[in-house]
Each structure stands twice: as C-alpha cells, then as structure tokens.
Amino acid sequence: MTTELSLSDHAHALHPPTSTGLDNRKVAIWTFIGSECLFFASLISTYLVYKGRDTKGPTPDEILQIPLVTFGTALLLFSSLFVVIALNGAQTGNRKRLLFWLGMTIVCGMFFVGMQVYEFQHFVHEGLKLQTNLFGASFYTLTGFHGTHVTIGVIWLITVFITALRGKLPPERALNLEMAALYWHFVDVVWIVIFPVVYLMK
Amino acid sequence: MDSHAAHAPEAQGLDPHEKSHPGPGVYIKIGVVLFVLTALEVAAYEVAHRPGSLGTLLQPILVPVLLLLSAAKFALVAMYYMHLKQDSKLFSGLFVFPLIIAAVVIVSLIALFIYHYSYQRGML
C-alpha cells in the first residue's frame, strides 16, 4: 500500500493538476492524432477520386505487387503488438521486456520503410514516376506521406529506446513511451486502411 | 511491489481514474486475430481474381468484404492496442469525432466527383 501510494504521488508530481484530471501530454497526442485522421482522409479521398482516370499506364493492375506488401503489412501489425508489450514492460518496471520488444518494434519499422523504398525504386524502374499519370501522383503522395510518418515513428521509438537503455524510463515515466506507441499504432491503423484501398481494390 | 500494486493505474503511469491496461496475453490474442483478418483479406482478393464459380460469386462483394475486415482490424487496434476501451472517454471523443468527419469528407468527395464525371459524360 505504501509503495502504491508513493508511486501514485510520484506519477502526479510529474504533471500539475489539470481541469480534465488527465495528463495534458496525452490529451495533446490524441488531439494531434485526430488532426492526422483528417490529413490522411484528404489523401485517401484524392487517391480514390482519381482512381481509374488515367489516360496512360502503368496502371495499378499492371504494377502493384501483393505478396511484398502483404509481408510489409504483417510486419507493421506485428510491430504494433511488440510496442504494446514493450509498453507493458515499461509500465510494470520489466526492463528486459521493455528493451527487447521495443527493439523488435524498431526493427519491424525499419524493414517496413526498407520495403517501401524497394517498392518505390522498382516502380520508378518500371516507368511509374510522380509525374507519369494520376495514379503515380496520388499513389506516391499517399504512400509516401505514410512512409514519412513511419520513418518519424522509428526515429521517435529509437530516442525512447536510448532513454530506456540509459535507465531513464521508470514506470512513472511510461507515458513517454505510451505517446510514441499511440503515434505508432495510428501509423498502423492508417496502413490498415491504405492496404485494402490501394492494393486489394485495384 | 505486490501484484495488485503492479497492475494499479498509478503504477502504470496512468491517471487514477483510468482503468488498468490489459496484459501481454490479451495483446497476443488480438495480434493473432489481426493476422487472421489480414490473411482473410488477401485470400478474398486472390479468390475473387481467380476464374471459377467462387471467384465470380465473390467479385461483386469484394469491396464490402474488404471494408468490413479493414474496419474490424481498425477497431481492434484502436480499442485494445491504443487502449480506448480502458482509457478516458475524452480520448475516444478526440479520436472518433475527427474520424467521423474524415469518413464524411471521403464519401462527399467521391460522391461529388462521381456527379462531376457523370455530368461531363452527359449522363445527367
């Protein structure tokens, strides 16, 4: 009981009382995620309204590769699982669990970015550039912005990993990882929408 | 620290009125479901694009099936991995309200462009 009380006191000492009773940093990250929903909605709707309006190829049917992207999708889904296990490790003070699963999340994220770089290179080689047709412009803009978000997420997770490695991520500071994890899950849910819309409904 | 204290919201760095987050067991179960749903998406796509009676049957309903599977995956990640099921309802509001606006934006733009293209072709 004494330990619980002291942890509670410590957690509250990290942020002053707020009108909502919630940590403002968590409210801020959720507000940011809400605004990102609208950002990706505009990109997805642009892709959809230009779908099938090309006057010349390459078209989605000719160029998109399902097996490679399915592998990338699985990686991103697994990374979401790994980061939430790492968060559990951070919240319960299990340092070994935190470091291992956070490391695995970063590796999965890097592989996903690598997959996307390979895919873009392959498409350019096949003749699909940003300025080639409407599909090229909307596809690269949508998946490129998503890839940029994944890259930012990887960098953010690496900084949290280094903090944890230095022993500066005790349970009462687990929110630092939770915010990065929330962003990472958002990047995952955006891909959950992009994958069927772009690759499976071509 | 005893087991109760370890799972208390405060011990997890959460605000006291937020419920405790689930453990790795629940996360792994959700992960398996997400993997199965993704496999179903790809299987539906493959079957619909193969010649045969099943493919012919699935082709017209492929888009609704994919949207349904995608929505299920989205909801599972948001509820369990992003902890909207356990956390304050304010966070759900901050996420769901823009999500509704996003859906309205997508549907409105598609409807607008369908009208525009139909008008251009003299179909209206």
Residue type, A48: L
Q: Does a structural domain hold residue A52?
A: no
Q: Mutate one of A14, A19, A200, A201 to test the B interface: name it (highest B CB count within 10 A).
A: A200
Q: Is the minimum CB–CB distance between B98 and chain A shorter than 8 Å?
A: yes
Mean pLDDT of B49-76: 93
* Domain CATH number, residue A113: 1.20.120.80
Q: Which residues of B93-103 are buried (b: 16+ CB within 10 A; e: fewer)?
A: ebbeebbeebe
Q: DSSP letter at A195?
A: I
Distance between CA atoms of B92 and B95, rounded to whole angstroms?
Answer: 5
Chain A residue closest to B22 (CA)?
Answer: A88
pLDDT of residue B15: 61
Tokens at A193, concatenated: 């929408």
Q: In angstroms, what CA-CA distances link A49 with A35, A132, A146, A183, B117?
A: 22, 17, 19, 28, 10
Inspect the interface and report whether the beta carbons of B1 and A93 lie closer than 8 Å: yes
Q: Does a structural domain hold residue A14?
A: no
Q: Does a structural domain hold residue A13?
A: no
Of B1, B10, B77, nearest to A185 by CB-CB distance is B77
Of B35, B73, B106, nearest to A41 by CB-CB distance is B106
Answer yes or no: is pLDDT of B7 > 80: no
Q: pTM of the prediction?
A: 0.89
Query: Which positions in chain A touch B6 (Cβ < 8 Å)?
Result: 92-93
CA–centroid distance for B110 within its chain:
20
Query: Which positions in chain A touch B106 (Cβ < 8 Å)?
Result: 41, 44-45, 48
The per-residue pLDDT for range A52-66, each reduced to its tens digit, is 888 888 999 999 999
Intervals of chain A under pLDDT 70 = 1-15
Contact (CB, 8 A) for B31 and A81:
yes
pLDDT of residue B10: 57
B106-113's contacts with Cβ under 8 Å and 24+ in sequence apart are: B106/A41, B106/A44, B106/A45, B106/A48, B109/A45, B109/A46, B109/A48, B109/A49, B110/A45, B110/A48, B110/A49, B112/A49, B113/A49
pLDDT of residue A3: 41
What lies within 8 Å, CB to CB, of B27 at 6+ separation is A81, A84, A85, A88, B80, B81
Helix residue ranges, H only, chain A: 2-13, 24-50, 60-63, 66-92, 95-125, 134-165, 175-194
pLDDT of residue A7: 42
Q: Does a structural domain hold residue A93?
A: yes
Q: Does a structural domain hold residue A16?
A: no
User: Which residues 18-57 in chain B show a CB within 8 A of chain A?
Assistant: 18, 21, 23-24, 27-28, 30-31, 34-35, 38, 41-42, 44-46
Structural domain including A97 reads 22-47+67-200
Q: Give the residue from A198, A155, A184, A202 showing the smallest Cα distance to A82.
A: A184
Inspect the interface and report whether the beta carbons of B42 and A66 lie closer than 8 Å: yes
pLDDT of residue A1: 39
Rounded percentage of chain A residues whose pLDDT exceeds 90? 85
Q: Give the residue from B73, B40, B38 showing the smallest Cα distance to B58.
A: B40
* Count of domains observed in chain A: 1
- Nearest CA distance, B56 vs chain A (angstrom): 16
The per-residue pLDDT for range B73-119, each reduced to its tens digit, is 999 999 999 999 999 999 999 999 999 999 999 999 999 999 988 88
